[in-house]
Structure 1
Amino acid sequence: MKRKNKIIMGAAAVSLMATMTACSTGGNTTAPAKDAGGNKDGKPVEITFANWISVEDATKDAYAKLIADFEQKHPTIKVKSLGIPFAQFKDQVLVNSAGGTPPDVTMANQNFTAAFAGANITEPLEEALGKEFVDDIVAGSRAGVTYSGKVMAMPWAPHPNALFWNKTLFKKAGLDPEKPPKTYDELISYAKKIAALGKDEKGNPIYGIGENSSTESYTGNMLLRTALSYGGKFVDDKGAVVYDQGSALKDTLAYYKDMINNKVSPKGAAMKDLRGMFANGTLGILIDGDFGRSSFRTMSGKGETFDKEWGVSIVPVGKTGRSETVFTEHQLIITKTGKQKAAAAELVKYLVSKDAMLIYHKTNGIMSSRKSIAALPEMNEDDYAKVFNEQMKTASPLPAANPKFDNAMKESSDMIVLVTEGNKSPEEAITTVISKIKDLYK
């Protein structure tokens, strides 16, 4: 049965100045009743939580704090972590669920949720979590998790992509270290000036900008993010693929070919590679999510002192005349065949609560997809937080209605390989790949 994900491709309006209304399901700090989600006899129940943040260096400490706080507030619920590396995550959850051992709660993102909903392993959340939670979701995030009129995942962390720049490299390239690019023309110009620096004192090549170019679905997401700035669109309102219509995708691939083949951006790089390069001072510009700060602190080995070496701003304005970006959102799902749904609901409610989001925000700079929490002064305490809350106003949900969206994004990453390594023109790459994507969507 086909599921239609009613995604609103327009900007995600976020009113951060809205009056905060405290509600019992989100803003409070009071622990729930001791047996909430637990056995009636008071004995603890164990729930499994499939996630990737417990096995990543930048987030494992935050994960430990969150689970410890949850278990202290819910003494009758114990959480067993199923830490799965991100690259294997979607397939492993699908295999476990098909084999009769689904996790009670699983992380997801906008690529994975479509596949999980298509496999019928997601539980609708309005009844499980309550109307207060669902009505409190930021509009763009809610649109991205709504399938056939039902909310099938709880947005946890929106992760809108913004622009990071290295102030040291800007200065060396003769650029103002306090002024990031405001337009795509400036972005390209600045990146080329930084790349012209050649190598650092250790002999490592210096790149102006980092664009994902490895063959994986996340690269496809980032290609689409760039294509939006050129006026592109992946699907129409009926879900038909229109990515190849007009000049936007052709112009985007021409940009990638120019950046990568002229060594302004590294060839074949995944996001983890680009983050490492930004952290070691050999990458001038990187467009990344709100977790960037904690990643750079950890990977640089300099901790908070590294913050002085970079800045963050909204994505430069492209052909559309506005700052185009996407939510690379982390989401939470209660699995349909899980054995501990009440306890699972308590974990999801906690992880998106005020208490949990303040922990996650303090440790990793994570923002909230809930309007009431995003408006809190504690979530807007510095320029970093304000930039990402501002970026959410023009971030679009990924058009992930089709269960094959993740596969389509991986296929689309091949277009970058074809133009940068296969010596193909943008038109040839589009003809080769888009036909495959359209076949997937049939």
Structure 2
Amino acid sequence: MQRYSDRENTSTNRARRHHPLSPPLGLRALAGAGALALLMAACGGDDAGTSEDGTVTLTFANWADTEDATRPGLQETLEQFEEEHPDIKIESEGIGFSDIGQQMVQRVQAGNPPDVAQLAGNDTFAVASTEALAPLGEHLDEETISAVNPADVEGGTYEGELVAFPWIDSPQGFWYNKGLMADAGLDPEQPPETIDELMDALAAIKEEFPGITPLGLDVTNRPFGLGANWAWMKTFGAEPFGESGANANSPEMVEYLSWMSELASNDYIEPGRKIGEFRPQAAQDEVAFIWDQDVFQGVVQDTNGMSDEEFFEAWGVTTLPTGPSGEPYSVNQGHQLVIFNNSENKEAAAELIEYLSTSEDAIVDYTMDTALALPPVTEPEGEVAELMDTPVRQSFIEDINPTFTVPPYGQTFSAGYGPVMAGLQQIVTSGADPADVAEDIQSKLESALD
């Protein structure tokens, strides 16, 4: 990944661009970020209007403005937007990632949502279920919508309406440490393609390097944990719940749980650790394989100072090793932008969505440099196309992105992740019988989903 500081033409010395990435991408947009200490004191869409001089003020709730790694880049990008759109001002409301979904639901109920918000994963559908999100098809033209990954459009569709537009893509990939593989007698250019091959590789790694983590996999009891494991469940043919209700007491789920039990009993995984805790460890060559998003590269390089060339020599990324289903899967845990029905400035909000999601400046300086993620556009041009031309990003685009699958987000997911992940934690920490755990998950899911 080409870091911001390494680029010859930064946003401070490069002429401002006044065109979207694939003109005319026509995506109007949403923007901003800022946190409210009190929900009722928040600046809602009803309060955001047009001043006497015709300037529109948009409120933008997001978590990017609360995090040290993304705040400066976001603020600069919003300033760029305001420079190019002098009739639109952005009030950024920073709200933590763990809180923003619940706060948006509460603000909808209180009648004071922002104009736009940054959401992700199940939060998007939890907010959509309040029927408070504006149908974006009424504000974005077909050319704009067709310019982004069709899987992202599907992922932002709720009850037949596009209500969330992709800001960044952040799919999960199977990363492998080439040096550790070679030292363990494995072919560093042939990562495991199946679960059986993976188990052989993990055994070789464990034997050669008993002190390192063979597989970095987040199995913590939280929505992210289920999102991280959904692809693994799917490749075993298991879907513990969905539109038809609970389906955890199945042979496929038992087989998946049995495999997870084997991983834990052989010390191939560390059950109590979140994915962010594995990344610095991986930067020190203490993780052989890791199931992680594209942000992994940036974190490793920031930790150990690797150049792009050194990283590509040390690490590769590919699709999930396949299980009984024979198909690899990946869950895109990217970020989306939404407009609320209460907004009095939906067209201005749409202008901001277009800018954040598709303009070359925003993609180069925020999406790829600050967020360390992939843009949702299908035909990148100019500097974006140049930055996308790396082994890692091409692997995501050509191999991993086509394997996207969407978990059953919404109220079902909110109710179901707890029983599933509690059962998985029982498997990986106590050595419980997989068949008994699957039956227990099924019972708890039936109660939770009733």
- Shorter-chain TM band: 0.7 to 0.9
1:346 to 335, 342, 351: 351
Shift of 1:374: 8.8
1:81 correspondence with 2:128: no
Q: How big is each residue's C-alpha offset from its partner over 1:262-315, in whole Å with a ceiling of 9 and x where there is no partner?
A: 211112111211223222321111111222212222244556555543222222
Q: Tell me the matched-pair count.
A: 406
How far apart are residue 193 of structure 1 and its match? 2.2
Distance apart, 1:259 and its partner CA: 1.4
Sort the Cα spacing of 1:57 and 1:185 in 2 relative to 1 into closer, same or farther, 3 A.
farther
Rounded to whole Å, the distance in 2 between the matches of 1:374 and 1:433 is 48
Displacement after TM superposition at 1:385 (Å): 1.4
Structure 1 42/131 Cα, relative in aligned 2: closer, same or farther at 3 Å?
Answer: farther
Are residues 1:55 and 2:66 paired? yes
Counterpart for residue 205 of structure 2: 194
Q: Work out the CA distance in 2 between the residues paired with 1:300 and 1:21.
A: 36
1:292-343 per-position Cα deviation (integer Å, ceiling 9, x unaligned) = 2122222445565555432222222332223222222311111222344333
Report which stretch shifted further, 167-176 or 180-189. 167-176
Contact 2:60 2:115 in 1 (8 A): yes
Pair 1:212 & 2:223 matched: no
Q: 1:274 to 1:434 in 2, by over 3 A?
A: farther
Q: TM-score, normalised by structure 1?
A: 0.83
The 5 Å alignment of 1:88-167 reads 88-167=99-178
Q: Does 1:265 align with 2:269?
A: yes
* 2:35 is aligned with 1:25: no
How do 1:384-423 residues align onto structure 2 when only pairs under 5 Å count? Answer: 384-390=392-398, 391-400=400-409, 402-423=410-431
Query: Does the 8 A contact of 1:94 with 1:116 survive in 2?
Result: yes
Please report how far the alpha carbon of residue 379 of structure 1 lies from its aligned counterpart in structure 2 after TM superposition.
5.9
Q: Distance in 2 between the 1:296 and 1:68 partners?
A: 29
The alpha carbon displacement at 1:429 in A equals 1.8
Partner of 1:31: none
Between 329-338 and 364-373, report the one with greater CA deviation: 364-373
The AA in structure 1 aligned to 2:134 is: E
3-state SS, counterpart of residue 279 of structure 2: helix
Question: Structure 2-normalised TM-score?
Answer: 0.81
Mapped to 2, the partners of 1:59 and 1:253 lie a distance apart of: 37
- Matched with 1:30 is none
Does structure 1 residue 367 correspond to structure 2 residue 374? Answer: yes
Distance 2:143 2:49 in 1: 22
Q: Is the 8 A contact 2:168 2:375 kept in 1?
A: yes
Answer whether contact 1:358 1:378 (CA < 8 A) is retained.
no
Find the aligned partners of 1:296 and 1:52 in 2 and give their Cα distance: 22
Matches within 5 A, 1:310-349: 310-349=315-354
Residues 1:231 and 2:237 aligned together: yes
Task: Show structure 1 runs of 5+ residues with no match.
Answer: 1-19, 28-36, 200-204
Q: 1:308–1:114: structure 2 CA closer, same or farther, 3 Å change rule?
A: same
RMSD over aligned Cα, in angstroms? 2.8
The separation in 2 between residues aligned to 1:77 and 1:423, in whole angstroms, is 58
SS in 1 for 2:186: coil
Paired residue secondary structure (2:245): coil
Q: Could you say what secondary structure the match of 2:60 adopts?
A: strand
- Cα deviation for residue 98 of structure 1 reads 2.6
Change beyond 3 A, Cα 1:245–1:293: same
Q: Which residue of 2 aligns with 1:11?
A: none
Contact 2:156 2:162 in 1 (8 A): yes
Q: Is the 8 A contact 2:219 2:228 kept in 1?
A: no
**Is residue 2:285 matched to residue 1:281?**
yes
